[in-house]
Structure 1
Amino acid sequence: MKTHKSLLRTLPALLLLASLAGCAGFRITGDPRSGIASEPAPPTQLITAQLIEAEKALRARRSSESVSHLIVRNPPPYAIGRGDILSIVVWDHPELAGQGVAASATAADAQSPSAPPAGFVVDHDGRVQFPFAGALTLAGLTEDEARALLTKRLARYITNPLVTLRVQSYRSKRVYIDGEVRLPGLQSINDIPMTLVEALNRAGGMLPSADQSRIVLERGDARYQVGLRGLVARGINPGSILLAPGDVVRVHSRDESKVFVSGEVVTPKALTMHDGRLSLNEALGESGGISPISGDARQIYVIRRAVDGTRVYQLDARRAGALAMAEAFELEPRDLIYVAASPLANWYRSVSMLFPGALTQVVNISRP
């Protein structure tokens, strides 16, 4: 009985102390002993209809700028390169054929699957040695241009030469496909324009785990992020993105495009985006929603790591039209959604930390 009376006497002071502690917020500004102050918190932006429209316009502009350098409406014809093997036939002059690679190959080599096909190899200087014509620089020319040059040279020795020239083996230009595709590896560029869609199809297509919104194209020191569904939504044909020799295409996995929901929700978890799209409303819904016991619907935060620093967005779910704004607010990979606790939940936790078991004893005392 004495214990009960002492608890009742100290309860007002206990509640006052907890209230003051909750108002103060226990904000840490740094360790005074070390002389190091904490970094200032990033500014918080309220999620409004104007902010959503600005973010959507910025995202569309950023995506358009990233692929504008890659789109080619009318791809040029294939240009002969160093290492290509050419088939050259001069009609009615069979003695001029077979003077290239096959001339020095034995019968056993010809039957080997790794043996190079018969033809004329474009050397490291971009030239081809042909009877009567001598050394011809063909690298950088199309098949028609190379045929015209060879015909002009042979016309000095042969009356009205009829020449057939074509690329027999494409070995000079390649791209590399990596990531979530069925057949990753090198792809040779041939007379069919090597577009992004063509390269993905040659690689066997994308796996079910592929994120179609995160296809990264590396060209030299530049990196371009391509989202197939986003391009189609804006009326851009992905088949117009032309690859260049040496390009590296990486198809990322959906597991790399996650958002994290924590705080006062029913089920905190990491969520996988649906081909690059996940709204704030969907993320909260898949996490079971805001906890009805401890969550504060006025303090829903989205923390995003951007190039220029950390950005914090806040949604007040009690405002009119908040659900519509939450549905329109699109998340980005690695976003963190945090739902703050309500003032009552903070008060209860503060009292529980200061005086463990005190509230439980008070509740037991109050029971008849």
Structure 2
Amino acid sequence: MASICSAALSGCRSLAPAIALVLALGGCTTGIQFAGGDKEGGGDAPPTEKITEQLIDSERRAYVDQARQDLTPLIVPNPSPYTIGQGDVLSIVVWDHPELAGGGMTTATAAADTGTIAPNVIPPGFAVDHLGRIQFPLIGLQHVEGQTEEQARTMLTKKLARYIAQPSVTLRVQSYRSKRVYIDGEVKAPGLQAINDIPMTLVEALNRAGGMLPSADQSRIVIERGPRRYQINLRELVQKGVNPGSMLLAHGDVVRVHSRDESKVFVSGEVVTPRALTMHNGRLTLNEALGESGGVSPLSGDARQIYVVRKTPERTRVFQLDARASGALAMAESFELRPKDVVYVAASPLANWNRHLSLLFPGALTSAVGVTTRP
């Protein structure tokens, strides 16, 4: 027994200088470290900002100001009727005068008999040419682009009245081919959608595309109109009382629904399960991120040193939360994360000490302890 104790004591004595060195090193390496971050050597390291109620309010106001944009060009509560455009095909019937239907009526009848229209075949009717005109019997070329069905019908009736007594004209758009929008991204059926007599609102366009997929991020819908880009957050619109059904799309608009996988938050360090988390339609709090990662590791994590690293176009920002402080849980629930944020939990001083000792003398401390516990 005496020999075992003397061996253990001699092992501990041999480790004493190294343990003292490791303790000194461990006290200097807690928390997040940045190159050039020492007080004497330079100012490359970003300052650490404590997460407080004041900072949370400031960040919320800054985010609202940054996200604010003028959506007035998109919001049209009372859409105008559809106007005829180049490429549209019109069905025009002059009652009691079937001869004025031209060759289109024969084609229409044949198509009705077979029930199908072959691909690349122009639908029967009167096509609007590149100058916005149609060729109609008796009255020749007539400009109809930009007119509603009712306006075009009134115009043709007046023109035909010179040749026919009290003409009765029926006009409607048979094939909508002049205006379209493109739907892309996380929808069931991406592609072109023709604008017809039903107003093409944002909700209508998404529904025609089969609806959004479960992977769609409803907070990141982009509408591109020429050089302008509008960022649409459906959740915030509803909260502000804006009806997405009043957002009218125009010819040439491109609607892109982004994926939730593009807006991830990364949780690393001393947590139970380090992982990448997808945001919930643009929203994820610090408390939720820690909870979905299993929380701070009870064996090695330092609850006083929870960091959020955020890369902005101007600089890198580092926020710190002391989870042991009063009201810390409420602040963690109120602190909104942003896409690509990195949540890092630092190791406790004891965990750092153990790791440094294991790196310098792998297995030495275990051997010394094993000697004392060996029967």
- Work out whether the TM-score is over 0.5: yes
Gaps of 5+ in 2: none
SS in 2 for 1:117: coil
1:185 aligns with one of 191, 196, 214: 191
Aligned equivalent of 2:92:
88
**Aligned 1:25-64 pairs, distance under 5 A:** 25=29, 29=35, 40-64=44-68
Letter in 2 for 1:145: Q
1:76 aligns with one of 71, 74, 80: 80
1:350 aligns with one of 351, 356, 370: 356
Q: Deviations over 1:304-336 (max 9, x none)?
A: 233334332221112211100111112223322
SS in 1 for 2:174: strand
Contact 1:29 1:38 in 2 (8 A): no
Identity of aligned residues (%): 64
**Aligned 1:1-368 pairs, distance under 5 A:** 4=8, 7-25=11-29, 29=35, 40-65=44-69, 67-98=71-102, 101-102=104-105, 107=110, 111=114, 112-114=116-118, 115-364=121-370, 367=373
1:110–1:119 Cα change, 3 Å: farther
- Cα separation, 1, equivalents of 2:34 and 2:79: 60
1:28–1:257 Cα change, 3 Å: closer
Deviation at 1:84, TM superposition (A): 0.4
Deviation at 1:70, TM superposition (A): 2.1
Deviation at 1:56, TM superposition (A): 2.6
Contact 2:84 2:146 in 1 (8 A): yes
Aligned residues: 361
SS in 1 for 2:69: helix
Q: Deviations over 1:211-261 (max 9, x none)?
A: 322323233344333222222122111111111222222333333333221
TM-score in terms of structure 2 length = 0.84
Using the TM superposition, name which of 256-265 and 205-214 deviates more.
205-214
Letter in 1 for 2:169: V
Using the TM superposition, name which of 358-367 and 286-295 deviates more.
358-367
1:341–1:333 Cα change, 3 Å: same
Gaps of 5+ in 1: 31-36
Using the TM superposition, name which of 57-66 and 309-318 deviates more.
57-66
1:123–1:295 Cα change, 3 Å: same
Contact 2:74 2:247 in 1 (8 A): yes
1:59–1:24 Cα change, 3 Å: closer
- Cα separation, 2, equivalents of 1:184 and 1:47: 42
Deviation at 1:286, TM superposition (A): 1.5
Contact 1:63 1:226 in 2 (8 A): no
1:349–1:121 Cα change, 3 Å: same
TM-score in terms of structure 1 length = 0.86
Q: Deviations over 1:3-54 (max 9, x none)?
A: 7555433433213322333345496748xxxxxx999233332222222223
Contact 2:76 2:248 in 1 (8 A): yes
Contact 1:28 1:38 in 2 (8 A): no
- Cα separation, 1, equivalents of 2:343 and 2:229: 28
Contact 1:171 1:188 in 2 (8 A): yes
Letter in 2 for 1:79: T
- Cα separation, 2, equivalents of 1:331 and 1:19: 35
Contact 2:35 2:45 in 1 (8 A): no
Contact 2:84 2:147 in 1 (8 A): yes
Deviation at 1:159, TM superposition (A): 4.7
Deviation at 1:60, TM superposition (A): 3.5
Using the TM superposition, name which of 232-241 and 144-153 deviates more.
144-153
CA-atom RMSD in angstroms: 3.0
Contact 1:18 1:351 in 2 (8 A): yes
Using the TM superposition, name which of 61-70 and 119-128 deviates more.
61-70
Letter in 2 for 1:126: G
Using the TM superposition, name which of 342-351 and 89-98 deviates more.
89-98
Letter in 2 for 1:96: L
- Cα separation, 1, equivalents of 2:221 and 2:69: 15
1:330–1:84 Cα change, 3 Å: same
